[in-house]
Amino acid sequence: MNRYTFGIAALLMLTALSPALMAKEELVTLPKRDKVQLTIYNSVDLTLVRETRSLTFKKGNNRLQFSWAGTLIDPTSVEFKAVTGADKLDVLDTSYPAESNQMLIWTIAAEADLSANVEISYFTSGISWAAEYHGMLAADDSSMTLTAYVTVMNNSGEEYEDAQVRLVIGSINLVETIAGLAGGQRTARMEEAYGEMRKAGRAADSSRKEIVKEGLSEYYIYTVGGTETIPNGWAKRLQSFEQAGVPVRSVYTWDPAKYGAQLARILTFKNDEAHKLGKEPLPSGIVRFYRNAGAGRLGYVGAISTNYIAKNDEIKVNAGADPEVTMKVTRTQLKKENLSFAFNGRQQYLQGWDTYETFKLELRNFRDRAVDFEINLVFGGDFDFESELASNKVDFRTQRFALKLDKSGKQEVVYKVRTRFGTNAKK
Amino acid sequence: MNKRLMLSLAFAAGIGSMIGFFNPVPAQARIKLATLPDREAVVVRFDNPNVVMVEEERTISLQKGVNNVDFSWAGTQIDKGSIVFRPADAAAKVEILSTSYPPGEAALTWQISAAEAMSVKFRLSYLMANIQRETDYRMLVSKDEQTCSFKHYFKIRNWSGGRFATADFVTRDGKKFEKGLENGEAKRVLVNTWDKVKLTKEYVYDITRNGEGKVMTDYVLKNAKEIGLGAIPLEYGKVRIYQDDGNGTTAFTGEDWGRFTPIGDDMRLNIGIAQDIKIEMKKMVNDVQNRRGNVYDTDEVDEYEIKNFKDTDAVVTLVLRVDGEWEMKADTSGHESFERIDNETIKFKVKAPAKGTPVKLKFHYQKKNVW
Amino acid sequence: MRLTLAILALLVAVPLAAKEELVTLPGRDSVQLTIYNSEDLTLVRERRTLSFKQGSNRLQFSWANTLIDPTSVELQPVGDTAKAAIEIADTSYPAESHEMLIWTVSCKTAGAHVVEISYFTSGISWQAEYTGVVNANEDSMTLTAYVTVTNRSGEEYENAQVRLVVGTINLVEKIVNLATPRPQSQPRPSREDQRGARDMDRMAEKGGPGMGGGGGMVKPKEIIKGGLSEYYIYTVEGQETIPDQWSKRLRSFEVAGVPLKTVYRLEPAKFGPAFTKVLEFKNDEEHKLGKEPLPDGLIRLYKDQGMGRLGYMGALASKYIPKKDEVKINVGPDAECTLAIKRLSIKKKDLGFRNNWLIGWTTVEQFELEVKNFRGRAVEVEIHRTMAGDFDFESPDKFELHDAATRKVAFRLDANSARKLSYTVTTRLGENARK
């Protein structure tokens, strides 16, 4: 699987410089990395790789060569840090030789002969992760079992063995893409590997591991317990959490701007304690809903790709139209009044008028349980709104009815709209 | 041209430039040929933001009387009009009589007169093309986001066609480091580290910065002594921001271009989107008033609902814009403070309580004399 | 050398188309170049000593592959004896060659006589250049002026006296066009210029010392400056040899301690829309200059970084600077001294209607200017604001009238400080406008 010189295989050489400048170079090839940590971002194609190795330095100037031909490493991101012996080691400069643009050399001054743990970190592209959710609805849609997964996809060209995996949730600002800085186009082999990954992805094993969630600045970091080995081209899905008994509310909603010209069934729940959630934000991902169809069989309800859901925030999932809950609107009256005219010297012409319209809204519930409605009505121009049922003003042109119908219930709502046109309009 | 004796060609020293002697006029044949002087004390200056100036010293053995000294720079791009040539010691008893430029060659000849035979150190300055420079920064923010360590790197790349065996590279702020630099090579050097620099974090809603109305997280660093900076003007460059994750390691939390920041000014860096703060705008009133012919006023109320889902309270800055002639109405409410930046721009600070409790900014204004 | 002068010895006297013997003559005794920089024009005057026989002499002058204007070539005797002895009978331009002419000279007394041949050529030019080394405080500089002579004429002039004319002369035809051979002769240019140039020569000759430097130190050649009519003539001391296609730079003068003023200016009419740093001095005695006008050329500024080390500030192509005139060098915006302009408010008033349609109104706009000096020293600032239409300008900040549409204010700003200025512009628009 290890097709590319990268990471473990990345050529790391230590050259001792004797006091005389440019003396014979002693080349020391270094041992494998001791530890590797991957911090994978999902808002941008970026992974921070941090590897630790133990190196021996000679007193004086040491030249440490690091090369990464054939990988997607951003050369501007490669950093050297001494973890132990830092007070005796000093990076004098980083040189990018002319002959290779996938290699650099650190000149490191050591105060004495010493052995030190050093950390080399860099950005790479090609590794990503995504969240996914399964919502298993109870037969009456009143609650669900929510399972969250994270899937890590390795398309970097390198197998990372026994890596600590951290996932960052959040939209960090990146002013240049890492793939661009790496100067690497994805090679055909990588594309091929990506295809294999897609085939293999779903079949990959899923072991149950604890995922520790911590907040950092505006982001969250998920740390996967233990270490993971993710071969190149593979995807691996891990369960993030599972929560049973999450209360869910269904609201039949009329809101053409959001859900189109249909009465949509919107499943609503909150990422909070009242809903047995709220321990962490939910990263963006696909939520698939299934319904328990009895006898252990599942029915597919729908899927939605959600944005990031903060703690205490609400999530709404459009489960589509339901033929058993309907709405119908009819205009029962139209008349024009308050006509005003102007004289242009030869003839009179109409310059302002009002219209009076009456509408009837019929709601029916054929289901065997009570349902909630939210009806949003949007108007244009300079209008007055009047109805027998109390409404809320959502914004300057939107009125909202909220009501409940018992099982097999029906209700008619009548509302009137007066609209001023031409010179009659204030707006 | 065939009279010119290009003694110096054998010594392709330094950055491809050479100094030699030749003897163009038979009448002045008393000049002895001398060996090519080596370059000494090369300084590469980046103090001009647009061009790179190279200054070198050469010690030249002069004969009494008139000497012809040849300088050529084949293979490199030197702006020949920019060449300044003078003795390092202004009191040296030499005079540069003239400079001659042969056709079609990257070369020139100085005619130097000396009062007596002597060795004189000359300084030669010129602008050289294809030496690139780049500044970048690394910021390591503390876990509590109160302070940071700020590292300033300088990177130079040499495409000039020549090599610098060793040279002093001088940054705009006068920092000097001595390095060798091959042709085609780049080198990055840490030039400054400032620790315990105080930083300010701001949440900014500004539709001109994020069209989706998302809240941006900014770090603001004042380039001033009181916060631990203020030593030099900060050059334009990429700032990569890392944060201490509290587990002994760090996490990368974003990057931004830092603009040129003079001493006393602010550097504002966007690290990313504050996903836990949501703002939704609704226009609640939009009425036409006071119609006069084709001219009218409008009465408008914009309501911003702010939800902070974080575990701690936050102050959010909303930068709002209204064009034309307008004034804010007294019943605008929900903010801690406001500032009218200019005619078109107003900035509100709103305190958003933790855990998603919504707070509303009601922005009531009247646009006047619209047509 | 492509120019040749030959004496044609007539072998057979009487028949018209006789055989001629060509005698090529030795080189020039002296040559003087008067080079103009406003036009591609150089007046060449060369002297030669020729042996004349009594009676009619034929002199052939040819200039193949040069850029000489054939209409300008003249021959004159030099000195009283020569003037008394010889006379140019005619000048003929043979049909077979466009780059040759033959003078018929009648001579009363046989012997050696000095003649001067003069002509215009193109392809030789000169250009002024300046180097200013500014001190650390930016309040003084050392100004060095150079002249660079470039010879692309096709002819090498050895040991020539070089004179440079500063000023714009009128030429009705380009010399380079006249030099190009053509079957039919074009209207001739006026000889005024040539005569004028000759007068200038005489004036300038007064100050022309010979070649310096017998023993010891050779000083840079002095360049003697003299005025003539609307022009200035720079005469380079001694002689110069400038081979074809070469150029040569000579120092014109060097003055240390020229007082310099730095002014940060917002003056769009002169320096563009940016708030920019301008270095200023005057070509006058107070600034240790003013002895001569400064011909147009590139001014390169360097900054003294201490210990005689130089940093590069910038370059500017300067126009001809007369004596006493001021020089303003825009070195570009400075990130450490900035200006921001804000419109704080706009209000409309005095709305006038006709037939329910707006026909006139007045805007009242408040502006704020903020100048920030991040530098560790005080700076001078000058700001110009230009308005349009029928406006009133009010400010508590002592703006002055610059012209009908422009107000200006100048002040000094201390180190690391900022200053805000405000002004209000009331503009009458539509039918409210009185202008």
DSSP conformation letters of C281-330: EESSGGGT--SS-B-SEEEEEEEE-STT-EEEEEEEEEPPB-TT-EEEEE
Domain residue extents for chain B = 7-128, 132-273, 277-370
- What per-residue confidence (pLDDT) applies to C238? 80
Residues comprising chain C, all counted: 435
DSSP-assigned letter for residue A281:
P
A291's CB contacts (< 8 A; 6+ apart) are A136, A137, A138, A139, A141, A298, A299, A300, A301
- Contacts B252 to A, Cβ<8 Å: 39, 41, 46, 48, 123, 172
Q: What are the phi and psi torsion angles at A417 (to 5°)?
A: -130, 125
Mutate which: B325, B328, B344, vs C, most C CBs within 10 A? B325
Closest-CA distance, A176 to chain B, in angstroms, reads 9
Decide if A210 contacts A165 (C-beta within 8 A).
no
Domain residue extents for chain A = 7-124, 127-131+144-241, 325-422
**Per-residue model confidence as pLDDT tens digits over C103-119:** 888 989 888 889 999 99
Q: What is the pTM of this model?
A: 0.82
B246 touches chain A (CB under 8 A): yes
Distances A310 to A65, A281, B270 between C-alpha atoms, Å:
44, 4, 21
Q: Do chains A and C touch (3 or more CB pairs under 8 A)?
A: no
The residue ranges of chain B whose pLDDT is under 70 are 1-38
- Contacts B125 to C, Cβ<8 Å: 302, 310, 312
B254 touches chain A (CB under 8 A): yes
CA torsion angle for C287, C292, C297, C301 (degrees, to 10)? -20
**Per-residue model confidence as pLDDT tens digits over C176-225:** 777 765 444 433 334 344 433 333 333 333 333 333 334 467 788 788 88
Please provide the distance, in angstroms rounded to a whole number, between the alpha carbons at the two ends of chain A: 68
Topology annotation, domain B7-128:
Immunoglobulin-like (2.60.40)
Residues above pLDDT 90, as percent of chain C? 42
- pLDDT score of C19 more than 70: no
The rounded radius of gyration (Å) of the Cα atoms in chain A is 32
B291 touches chain C (CB under 8 A): no
Give chain B's count of helices (H) and strands (E). Answer: 0, 25
C211 touches chain B (CB under 8 A): no
Instruction: Specify the CATH number for B277-370; select among 2.40.240, 2.60.40, 2.40.50, 1.10.1740.
Output: 2.60.40
CB pairs under 8 A between B and C: 142
| A414 DSSP β-pair partners | A360
CA torsion angle for C124, C130, C131, C134 (degrees, to 10)? 180
Query: What secondary structure, in 3-state letters, does C36-80 show?
Result: ECCCCEEEEEEEEEEEECCEEEEEEEECCCCCECHHHCEEEECCH
Q: How far apart are CA C395 and CA C400, in angstroms?
A: 10
Instruction: Choose the closest CB to B190 out of A91, A98, A171.
Output: A91
- What per-residue confidence (pLDDT) applies to A8? 31
**Per-residue model confidence as pLDDT tens digits over C77-95:** 998 888 889 898 888 888 7
Decide if A291 contacts A321 (C-beta within 8 A).
no
Instruction: Choose the closest CB to B272 out of A96, A170, A313.
Output: A170
**Per-residue model confidence as pLDDT tens digits over C139-164:** 999 999 999 999 998 888 888 999 99
Comparing alpha-carbon positions, the chain B residue that sits nearest to A307 is B275
**Per-residue model confidence as pLDDT tens digits over A121-162:** 999 888 999 999 999 998 888 899 999 999 999 888 778 788
pLDDT band at residue C25 under the 50/70/90 scheme = low
Mutate which: C146, C310, C420, vs B, most B CBs within 10 A? C310
All domains in chain C, ordered by first residue: 4-30+43-119 (no CATH), 256-332 (no CATH), 337-430 (2.60.40)
Mutate which: B276, B278, B287, B297, vs A, most A CBs within 10 A? B276
**Per-residue model confidence as pLDDT tens digits over A328-379:** 999 999 999 999 888 877 888 898 899 999 999 999 999 888 999 999 999 9
Neighbours of B255 (CB within 10 A): 26
Instruction: Choose the closest CB to C220 out of B95, B127, B263.
Output: B95
Q: How far apart are CA B16 and CA B72, in angstroms?
A: 8
- Contacts B341 to C, Cβ<8 Å: 342
| A71 DSSP β-pair partners | none
